[in-house]
Amino acid sequence: MELERTVLIAEMLAPDTGELTRTRIEVRVDPLTGHTSRILPNRGLMPPNDFDLEAFARENQPRCPFCPERIEQLTPRLPPAIDPDGRIVRGEAVLFPNLHAYSSHSCVSVYSPRLHYLPLGRITERLMADNLSAQVAYAKAVMAADPDSRWSSINANHMLPSGSSLFHPHLQGVTDPLPTTLQRMLADVPASRFEVYLEAERRSGERWLGSSGRVQWLVSFAPIAPAELRAFVFGVSSPAELDDDLTAELAQGLTRALNAYAELGYESFNLAIYGAPPGFAGYPLNLRIACRSNLKQPAYRSDSTFLERLHWEGAVDLAPEGVADRLRDRFAS
């Protein structure tokens, strides 16, 4: 497989000297979906965090519906057909319906009611595994109660720059009779192409991070968002097919990724674990996780512009190969 890229050169006269200057922009084609992404020179578009997140957490905590004093009264309960207890609990994780639903079956799961402030460096494999386990149980229960809803995803908007309306860290699950745009596009990829793509990245080594056994990790060749990582789980196509061991393995990789984001200076991220219907031939469960801009005072620049939202084309100044160099050691063992 040839990983396709085109180099564009922008020319301009420098405002201070009048000399001709050239800027190199690389347009890359994603080998699975065909979307394009633009890799820019490093311009400092993603400055590290210097915002006092802990103080901000204390300020908004008295109104938070996910904290221990309010979660029972202010969050809805699951219908008996999904769970007779109204909530799914795994360890400290608590799952309940999304009050502002995005689908026919839409849920929220908090890592822990007591953890209103959970910076990425403090996320543990246990917290992540329990939260993922609650989401897996939800997907299984929904599919048993509503056999037409077989497209499931596990997602996250972590901190306000990611699109979250609540500070308290949580995951969101969606299970529907219809796929999202990216689920549909990924489901249309020929089964053999996933393996061919991963083998090309293994041989290249530039963006390859490693395998934890059944989960393969790499940095996106054509990222939609900054510091974007991909993972592929062959042998299962849906979150509903994850067993305890595979859930723990996936949690291990996600925890390493989020702890690494913290070391890079970032605290906000988006996650999407793209499921297809259970047993979907040749489709590997796969995910995309990426950093978002940090909160800044008095103002900050969002990393989501017309290119990302309206053209569906990433424009990032964190080169994937540089991200891989900084994260590879975390995934080597």
For tokens 């061919």, name the residue.
196
In a domain, 163, yes or no: yes
The pLDDT value recorded for residue 169 is 96
In a domain, 41, yes or no: no
Low-confidence ranges of the chain (pLDDT < 70): 297, 333
In a domain, 286, yes or no: yes
In a domain, 73, yes or no: yes
The pLDDT tens digits of the residues spanning 98-119 come to 999 989 999 999 999 999 999 9
Assessment of whether the complete model's pTM goes beyond 0.85: yes
The pLDDT value recorded for residue 297 is 65
The pLDDT value recorded for residue 303 is 86
In a domain, 316, yes or no: no
Give the total number of structural domains in the chain: 1
In a domain, 317, yes or no: no
In a domain, 7, yes or no: no
Q: Give the domain range for residue 240.
A: 53-302+326-331
CATH number for the domain spanning 67: value is: 3.30.428.10
In a domain, 82, yes or no: yes
